[in-house]
Amino acid sequence: MKPYKLGYTTGVFDLFHVGHLNILKKAKEQCELLIVGVSTDELVMKYKNKYPVISHEDRMTILEGIKYVDMVVPQMNRDKFSAWEHYQFDVMFVGDDWKGNALFNELEDKFHHVGVDIVYFPYTAGVSSTKLKQKMIKV
């Protein structure tokens, strides 16, 4: 039996790579159902000041095809507590590159009060969409 019923994770998932797959696989190992929020193009532009290479619609379609994912939803903002109010998940999965970030420190406190855990997974070293884009520019 898995420790959690309903899990949640989010991301841009641009230029899908093994790091993305690792988080989804590890998350699914710990929950019965996994919801994945995919950042909209507008949201990515707002906080990264650039649009993803792959459109939001296509990124959602890619995630829907991953066997570890049970439900794909658009992530319209970065308010994870609002997402919890809507989906009522038991746990949120995040890469450990966010651990100690002010946004997640505050979120840990809010989630603690409603009984939601945050599980941080090790970041997959050497792999990121940014690094892939840099390699593509050099080729």
Instruction: Give me the active site residues, please.
Output: 48, 50
Annotate 100-111 with three-state secondary structure: CCHHHHHHHHHH
Q: What angle do CA 72, 6, 9 make, to 5 degrees?
A: 50
The answer to whether residues 8 and 37 touch, using CB atoms and an 8 Å cutoff, is: yes
Rounded Cα–Cα distance for residues 97 and 123 (Å): 6
Strands annotated E in the chain? 4-11, 31-39, 71-75, 91-95, 117-121
CB distance 1 to 47 below 8 Å: no
Cα–Cα distance, 61 to 48 (Å, whole number): 22
